[in-house]
Amino acid sequence: EAQVTQNPRYLITVTGKKLTVTCSQNMNHEYMSWYRQDPGLGLRQIYYSMNVEVTDKGDVPEGYKVSRKEKRNFPLILESPSPNQTSLYFCASSSLDRDYEQYFGPGTRLTVT
């Protein structure tokens, strides 16, 4: 089954403790992206990648890092999480020839205390 998977689905952590949220897709997609969803703010793009080793900032990149070493994986790294990064995070991917059709993962709910 074609899908985007995220792990973990739920995470509660403390301020300053480094964490990684993984994202993997099995559709051989070139494009991948990370979003955060907050009530009243909709979705905001954090980072995106147009291919292996090619990443760029979205609207809200501060406090986040990404890497794209393999085509299928696009992990989101929070080096020193803070409470304002408490949010629902989504990963998405799309193919080169249909880059306008994003497939979203199920989401990761992160709480930073």
Residues in contact with another protein by CB under 8 A are 4, 31, 33, 35, 40-45, 48, 50, 56, 58-59, 90, 92, 99-102, 104-107
**Minimum CB–partner distance for residue 79 and another protein (Å):** 23
Q: Of 85 and 90, which has the nearer Cβ to another protein?
A: 90
**Structure tokens that stand for 96 in this block:** 């080169």
**Minimum CB–partner distance for residue 78 and another protein (Å):** 20
DSSP states along 38-93: ETTTEEEEEEEEEETTEEEE-S--TT-EE--SSSSB--EEESS--GGG-EEEEEEE
Q: Of 61 and 75, which has the nearer Cβ to another protein?
A: 61
**Minimum CB–partner distance for residue 45 and another protein (Å):** 5
Q: Of 79 and 99, which has the nearer Cβ to another protein?
A: 99
**Structure tokens that stand for 30 in this block:** 């070139």
Read off φ and ψ for residue 10, nearest 5 degrees: -135, 140
